Amino acid sequence: MDPRATSGLNLLVFGVSHRTAPVALRERLAVQNDGHPALLARLASSGPVTEAMLLSTCNRVEFYVATSDVEAAEGLLAAALAENASTSAEELEPHLYSRREAEALHHLFRVASSLDSLVLGEPQILGQVKAAYELALSAKTAGPVLGACLPGTFRLARRVRRETGIARHPVSVSSVAVDFARQIFESFENRQVLIVGAGKMADLAARALAGQGARLVVTNRTQARAEELASRIGAKVHPFDDLAGALEQADIVISSTGAQRPILSAELLRKVQKRRRGRLFCVLDIAVPRDVEPGVDIEGLYVADIDDLQKIASHHAQDRREEADRAEVMVEQELGRFLQSFQGRRIGPTITALRARVLGLAKAEAERTLAATPGLGERERKVLFDLAESIAKKILHAPQVALKKGGADPLEGAALVAAAERLFELSPVGSMAEGDEELGRQAGEGGPSEERGRTKAR
Amino acid sequence: MGRAALTLGVVLHLVEIGTNCVQARSPVSSTGDAMSFVAFIAALGYLVASYRYRLATGGAFVVPGVLALVVLARVAPAEPGTLSLGSPLGRLHVFLSTVGVAVFGLAAALAIVYLIEDKRLRQRRFSGTLGKEAPLATLDRLALRCVSVGFPIFTLAILTGALWVARLGAIAGHMSLRPEYLFALATWIAFGVLLLARIGAGWRGRRAAWLTLGGFASALLVLAGYFVRLVT
């Protein structure tokens, strides 16, 4: 048995992501936020599932649930997903994945730290996981299991962001374009940004610059489209006939026309830059074919075309991949730490349960024997009880020692706890239901943990 | 890491200068001391700026320059002409020119970084990631600030120097014109023109950077002149 599958967390992850399902399927599976609570409540009252959280983004639809009956829970979740996407379970089946116990927690850690994202290090996912957890809390479907896992997940994700460069440099062309302009200008406060053409990418970069205080001006061959874009992003319109005038007033130009020949010719730019008296001038040419005549070299003019920006973006992406290796190490360490403290909390109750079980059996057997053989004196009765107890204690000795030692290694501890539960038919120790007040508080809701706490050992 | 080491160096240097001052010895009482003082001012200026701006490349020019000056200062033989520095006017002149040259040195380092960055951005050589260096506009602005701080100081240095030379000439009965005087004047003119052109005609960028470098090279020639005279 894989020791990681037996941590006793009772956590299960089940769903699809960009790694397993095409976007067409993910779109259909995505659950609207307002649909969450009802679905979660239905799942969590179903029997095999005791807690449920749903993470539904454009790149993944995943259930994080607490269950002690994995097969039943998986069936239930698959049905819920299929129903939501109005598709058959058969069609869905090849795209689904499931992670159990420590593997599930590992997955959660990686997802929240943006290590499993389509764009490595993208910043939204942590907020999305938080929102999913809050929804589960408000739907009262988060209990001790999720409550034990999520707060630590958020701490880890923040630490990964802070201590590795996984999100340091932008990897999208529009953010890189802004970065390029930042290599030239100190701030964008009151800088004039001229958008030539009405392309989609220009839109994103312009918004980012406007967010930092830049003024936006749009010019486009078709006046109507210029006005449409301008009203959408809060820009002024400059007549296209006076392109030179617009250029002269601008500090940053974002050009994305569909023109077949470069509309920003070397001659035009030289003339403009002369009139600007050499002030710093940044042209971001994100059009294909290019809008700036190739080979322009003018004092104070800095041009980046789409290839340059993409080259920088891929540099940054490479950088992120290298940093992701460091992040994976942090995730592993955190998982080890988590499991160790988790097992530490679990081993004690397991030993208690084991002792109660074996000593109880011995006592019961002794009583049965006494009942079957009447006429024994007080002394004989005591001898029989002592014998039964001392045999029981001898049997208990080795497993007890092994369990105590197993606390040092999280995975071994987990395996031993699971083995003890199976060999001695102990009901699973719900360590978190069992007086784990600290974690219960972190879950934020006292109620569900009471109702949904699994069978206690004694 | 490197910055922490530089900070330590500057603090130790300050302690040394402070000790000298307590012993009533001016930080610029000899050519060696003066060079060491130039290094101190430049390192201090760079350090302060580097806490506020990204100036990784700048450090690559300032720090070796500072190191070279400190080493030169140590190997410079003790002054035979220290006596002549005894006059308050002479001491003031050496102090002012030392500070002025150090500030110009910082401007020159910024100009070099500007030229490198300008070239990199114009030729679109984006090795590695963006954002390691301060924006061009910042480099330009800081260089201008250095020059406008350094220029008045250097002007006073030239004036006190001229007065001092005149007085020494009067004592000796004849004026000796050294090539250093010429370079000092050239330095003053270069930075003066630069300031005028920047403020008046909006000069900036590459041309301003080259002129800054020219001015500083000329200032270095003045120092070199004193140093050569001292060694020979």
C-alpha distance from A155 to closest chain B C-alpha (Å): 27
Query: What local confidence, expressed as pLDDT, does residue A108 receive?
Result: 93
Please write the tens of the pLDDT for every residue from A192-214: 999 998 777 778 888 888 888 99
Contacts of A304 in chain B (CB under 8 A): 124
- Domain A173-314, architecture per CATH: 3-Layer(aba) Sandwich (3.40)
User: A57 CA to chain B: closest CA distance, Å?
Assistant: 30
Q: Dump pLDDT digits (tens) for B128-176.
A: 556 677 889 988 988 889 999 999 999 999 998 888 888 877 777 766 6
User: Which B residues in the span 111-130 are in contact with A, Cβ-Cβ below 8 Å?
Assistant: 117, 121-122, 124, 126, 128-130
Return the CATH superfamily for domain A3-170+316-339: Glutamyl-tRNA reductase, N-terminal domain (3.30.460.30)
Angle at A52 between CA A110 and CA A14, to 5 degrees: 50
Sort A439 into a burial class: Cβ within 10 Å, 0-12 / 13-18 / 19+: buried
Q: ipTM score here?
A: 0.77
pLDDT per residue as tens digits for the range A376-423: 888 888 999 999 999 999 999 998 888 888 766 666 777 788 788 888
Share of chain B above pLDDT 90, in %: 13
Is a pLDDT exceeding 50 seen at residue A225?
yes
B141 contacts A297? CB cut-off 8 A: no
Reference B99, options B26, B151, B163, B136; nearest CA is B151
pLDDT of residue A440: 37
Q: Which of residues 131-170 of B touch A (CB under 8 A)?
A: 131, 133, 135-138, 141
pTM of the predicted model, to two decimals? 0.69
Q: Under an 8 A CB cutoff, do A184 and B131 touch? A: no
Confidence of residue A164 (pLDDT cuts 50, 70, 90): confident
Confidence of residue A338 (pLDDT cuts 50, 70, 90): confident
Q: Which one has a higher pLDDT value, B111 or B58?
A: B111
- Looking at the predicted structure, is the pLDDT value of residue A104 above 60? yes
The structural domains of chain A, with segments of one domain joined by +, span 3-170+316-339, 173-314
Range scoring the smallest mean pLDDT among A21-35, A102-116, A189-203:
A21-35
Per-residue pLDDT band at A441 (split at 50, 70, 90): very low
pLDDT over 80 at B87, yes or no:
no
In this complex, the residue of A179, A182, A315 whose CB is nearest that of residue B128 is: A315
* Residue A111 pLDDT level (bands cut at 50, 70, 90): very high
Average pLDDT over residues A70-75: 86
- Residue A371 makes CB contacts below 8 A (sequence gap 6+) with none
Place of tokens 């397993």: A20
Q: Does A266 touch chain B (CB under 8 A)?
A: no
pLDDT digits (tens, 9 = 90+) for A425-434: 877 654 444 3
**Mean pLDDT, range A257-286, rounded to an integer:** 90
Are A185 and B133 an interchain contact pair (Cβ–Cβ within 8 Å)? Answer: no
A149 as an active site residue: the answer is: no
pLDDT at A411: 66
Q: Mean pLDDT, to the nearest integer, of A128-136?
A: 90
Q: Half-sphere exposure of A139 toward its Cβ, with a 13 Å CA cutoff?
A: 26
Separation in Å, CA of A291 to nearest CA in chain B: 17
| Pick from A142-146, A182-186, A354-358, A396-400: least confident | A142-146
**Residue owning tokens 């020979």:** B232
Residue of A274, A312, A291, A285 whose CA lies nearest to A183? A312
Q: A280–B121: do the CB atoms touch at under 8 Å?
A: no
Angle at A175 between CA A262 and CA A57, to 5 degrees: 125
Q: Report the percentage of chain A scoring pLDDT > 70.
A: 89
- Asked if B122's CB is within 8 angstroms of A280's CB, the reply is no
